[in-house]
Amino acid sequence: MTRFFRLLRSVLFDIHVYASMLVLGVIFAPWAVVSRKGARAACKTYCRWVLWTARWMVGIRTEVRGPVPEGEVIIAAKHQSFLDILIIFNALPSARFIMKRELLWTPVIGVYARRLGCVPVNRGKRGAAIAKMVKDVASQSREPGQLVIYPQGTRVMPGAEKPYKVGTAVLYEGLKQACVPVATNVGVFWPRNGLMRNPGLGVVEFLEPMQPGLKPKAFMKALEETVEGRSAALMREAGFDPGQPALQN
């Protein structure tokens, strides 16, 4: 019976997550259309609302660790679920994301992503996509802020392995900006698949910045070791063995 009520609360929470997105998207639309500041305020409000309701609806508390970056930096983050997007965006002063192009055509998300200056990538054409990504980022260099990229390119279940893609190194070398690795354990509580939301403390941790100047191969090796090592430690702290993929409840 307890499991049934947990599942019911999880389903209601998910419905609320998407309903809130629509409602706030419509409410903020007039301001967002004329001002990027309005679009950012809408997204910050949404993030804070979902993070707050997650506490009492499904028992997920969240915490940000490490110094939050400011200014123009690259954020290379572990991506496990929608939750880490919310925590990262809420924490950073002026974030924009490298995102798959298909999301630009989704209601609300696509409209606000464009207004925030997010950079779409066509994942089906790897070489051309990387070249265009660098060009698009460079063309928006007049907009200071934190550029968030997911080096593995998609959400990855806790315990699962997926290679890091070269696009992060290309950006790091081309922009000549510091790169801040980000670790997380949120997939333990908010899995990428399934409806069950598990109570606990979801953490996003900003790690020591990697300064410009590393060779691409050395940069990627250090980035992967740092993010995967710290994410594994956070998952163990949450009571999950990263040596075994999480079961989707």
- Tokens encoding 196: 């069950």
| Residue 182 bridge partners (DSSP) | 77, 206
pLDDT exceeds 70 at position 133: no
Condensed to tens digits (0 to 9), the pLDDT of residues 80-100 reads 999 999 999 999 999 999 988
Distance CA 8, CA 53 (A): 15
Q: Which of these ranges, 37-46, 67-76, 236-245, has the smallest mean pLDDT?
A: 236-245
- What's the rounded mean pLDDT across residues 155-170? 93
Query: CA 13 to CA 183: how far, in whole Å?
Result: 25
Domain regions of the chain by residue span: 61-237
Asked whether residue 8 carries a pLDDT value surpassing 60, the answer given is yes
Per-residue pLDDT of 166-217, as tens digits, reads 889 999 998 899 999 999 999 999 998 889 999 999 999 999 999 999 999 9
pLDDT of residue 194: 86
Dist CA 48 CA 229 (whole Å) = 28
**183 vs 139: which has the higher pLDDT:** 183
Contact 113, 103 (CB under 8 A): yes
What CA–CA distance (Å, rounded) separates 203 from 48?
Answer: 15
Contacts (Cβ under 8 Å, ≥6 apart) of 72: 144, 145, 146, 147, 177
Residue 239 to residues 26, 87, 191, Cα–Cα distance (Å): 40, 21, 15
pLDDT tens digits for 17-36?
A: 999 999 999 999 999 999 99
- Region class of 66: left (phi > 0), else alpha (psi between -120 and 50), else beta: left
Confidence of residue 125 (pLDDT cuts 50, 70, 90): low
